[in-house]
Each structure stands twice: as C-alpha cells, then as structure tokens.
Amino acid sequence: TKPAMRVAVTGAAGQIGYSLLFRIASGEMLGKDQPVILQLLEIPDEKAQKALKGVIMEVEDCAFPLLQEITAHSDPMTAFKDIDVALLVGARPRGPGMERKDLLSANAQIFTAQGKALNAVAKRTVKVLVVGNPANTNAYIAMKSAPDLPKENFTAMLRLDHNRGLSQLATKAGVAVADIKTFTVWGNHSPTMYADYRFATVGGKSLKDMINDQDWNANVFLPTVGKRGAAIIDARGLSSAASAANAAIDHIRDWVLGTNGEWVTMGIPSDGSYGIPEGTMFGFPVTCADGKYTIVQGLPIDEFSQACINKTLAELEEEKAGVAHLL
C-alpha cells in the first residue's frame, strides 16, 4: 500500500467541514487506493473544540478503511505539521446582508497566521486550497506569508463557480454536464467572476453557437452564476456547504491526479498570462498533470470578455490594496 497522505482541514467543525471530511476519508479526493491522515484545525474556543470532537467521533464511526489517523488541533503549527494538502476552509462566513469588504480584515489576520505556520511546518510540496472567503485574497495573504514555499502551491477555489456555470449551461442547451468541455471562469470568487463559455464545446460543436443568445449570456447566465451564493443563502438561510465541499474535492483531486488534458478552473497566482499582473490570485483555465497545473494559453479575448476580466481584476486589486498594510 501507498504511504498515507496528510491532509489538514481548517474550520473542520463548520458546515463545509461536515460535508468534506467524510468524502476525503472515503477516498473521493485522493483516490480509492490512497490512505489518508486527517489533521483538523478549529479555533481554541471550547464549544468549537467540543463540536470538532463530535465530528471526529462520527468519522471514526464510519470505519473508513483508508483513514489511518484523525487528530484535533487548536494550533496551526501542529495541525499543519508535515502535511501534503491543506484545505483552508475556516473563516468568518458571510451572513445575510453582509458585505465582502467587512470580511476582509477579519480574515486577513487568520490567513497571515496560517501562511506563517505552513511556511514553518508543512511539506515543501504542500498543495494549499483556500475556500474561506474572500478566497482569492485570503490565498494571496497566505502565499505572501509563506515566503519559503513555492508560490504555485497556493490556490483559491473557483471550482464552485465553474461547476455552477456548467450546470446552468447544460440546462440551457439541453445537454449533459459531462459532455461540456473547455469552459472556464476568470477572476475573483465573487459576483464579478466572468464565466466564459465562448470556447466550450459539446461533442465537438460550439456550445456558444448552440445557445446563440448573447442577451441570455449577459443578462441571465452571468448574473445567475455570479449571485448563486446569495441565492442559496436566501433560500436556505445558510451559505452553500455540500456544493462547496464537492468543489473542494474536485479541485484537489484534479490537481493531484490530473485532468487528462481537460480544462478546469483554479484560482492561482498569475504568471502574467492574459495581462493579469504577476502574483494576483486569479481564476484561469488550467489543465493538470503530474501534480502541476498549467494555464491554457493563447485564447482570444474579445471586447466584452476584456471588460468583464478588467472588472473582476479591479475588484481583486482593491481587495489587495485593502490588506497591503498587513503584509
């Protein structure tokens, strides 16, 4: 059998954690032949630690054959020791009517401390996915706080936006989700993201031509995907959890195990591609192989798309400026 991989999950007693841990332990993220060790972080608060113990009891009660060990932590310096994968979920979640900007400073502190801890004790090859919002900027802060780790190790979750877009497109065009190829979402995980199906195909045919409705794109599709998080909060009284956990599993699985040439969307530090300033944590179309992601190059950006990309980039630059004094 393979040596176990160590996976840290922060905010493990929260609602996304409750949908995530069981699927990691059952092998859905790293493979059905890959043993795992779970190192779970929660805030030191007595209630949170007690809730975490309860979740661990339930994971234990599943008797997952691949789960070698599961531990509870209140300090990132022990939770992140020797880890291969970090899922940074724990953050201050957005409630009804709350603005993203309010979350920025509260979360900056968390991700500075966690970036430093990753820098000090994680494996040098650690793959980090930030889920906690504002995800792109939190990932940027963690990356900046971990100067000894390769910056490519830090990513933000755009996969939920990607999956939301796929589902809307499949319904509109009357095709199967699995048959849609080469779709992507550019930019920030926020309502400004630009879900882009100009290159998407179904069975080799252009999905854009099949839909052939620019009004639907601009006035229905983009707002529906962009505001989906708010629509879920409105309907459920709670933010997306199971779908977010599912997207996190997809993101890490594809990064570790590869995409066989297919496109997925990841929030990654820009290398300057498509005029996005280097280091900006931005959603790009990527393919994954051998544990590495590569940006899909050479896509034409038309006027409408450039305006959308500029808008989401401007928002990210503003968030970055808002935390600059902390880095």
Pick out the residues of the known binding site: 11-17, 94, 100, 107, 114, 131-133, 164
Residue 8 found at the interface with ligand NAX (CB under 6 A): no
Q: Looking at beta carbons, which pairs linking 302-308 to residues 24 or more positions away fall under 8 Å?
A: 302/198, 304/218, 305/186, 305/194, 305/196, 305/198, 308/186, 308/187, 308/194, 308/196, 308/222
Nearest approach, Cβ of 181 to ligand NAX (angstroms)?
A: 22
Residue 43 found at the interface with ligand NAX (CB under 6 A): yes
Residue 316 found at the interface with ligand NAX (CB under 6 A): no
Size of the site for ligand NAX (CB under 6 A): 29
Q: Of the listed 162, 189, 251, 325, which one is catalytic? A: 189
Q: Please report how many Cα atoms fall inside a 13 Å half-sphere around the Cα of residue 260, on the Cβ side.
A: 1
Nearest approach, Cβ of 107 to ligand NAX (angstroms)?
A: 7
Residue 230 found at the interface with ligand NAX (CB under 6 A): no
Binders in 257-286 for ligand NAX, by CB under 6 A: none
Question: Which one among 110, 129, 143, 207 touches ligand NAX, defined by CB under 6 A?
Answer: 110
Q: What is d(CA 244, CA 78) in angstroms, rounded to the nearest whole number?
A: 26
Residue 135 found at the interface with ligand NAX (CB under 6 A): yes
Residue 94 found at the interface with ligand NAX (CB under 6 A): yes
Q: 187 vs 229, which CB is nearer to ligand NAX?
A: 229
In angstroms and rounded to an integer, the radius of gyration of the C-alpha atoms of the chain is 19
Nearest approach, Cβ of 210 to ligand NAX (angstroms)?
A: 28
Q: 205 vs 227, which CB is nearer to ligand NAX?
A: 227
Catalytic site includes residue 251: no
Residue 225 found at the interface with ligand NAX (CB under 6 A): no
| 3 state DSSP class of 199 | coil
Binders in 159-188 for ligand NAX, by CB under 6 A: 160
Q: Which phi and psi (to 5°) does residue 95 adopt? A: -95, 180
What region does 27 belong to: left with phi over 0, alpha with psi -120 to 50, or beta?
left
Nearest approach, Cβ of 45 to ligand NAX (angstroms)?
A: 7
CB neighbour class for 147 (10 Å; exposed up to 12, middle 13-18, buried from 19): exposed
Torsion (CA) 8, 251, 258, 313 in degrees, nearest 10: -120
- Taking CB atoms, the residue at the shortest distance from ligand NAX is 14
From residue 136, give the alpha-carbon distance in Å to each of 156, 233, 240, 280.
5, 20, 17, 9
Binders in 238-257 for ligand NAX, by CB under 6 A: 239-241, 244
Stretch of residues binding ligand NAX (CB under 6 A), selected from 8-16, 251-259, 273-281, 310-318: 8-16
Say which amino acid occupies 172: K
Query: What's the N-to-C CA distance of the chain in angstroms?
Result: 42
Question: Which one among 25, 67, 80, 133 touches ligand NAX, defined by CB under 6 A?
Answer: 133
Tokens at 45, concatenated = 């608060």
Q: What is the set of active-site residues? A: 189
Residues contributing to the site for ligand NAX (CB under 6 A): 10-11, 13-17, 41-43, 48, 89-91, 93-94, 110, 131-133, 135, 157, 160, 189, 229, 239-241, 244
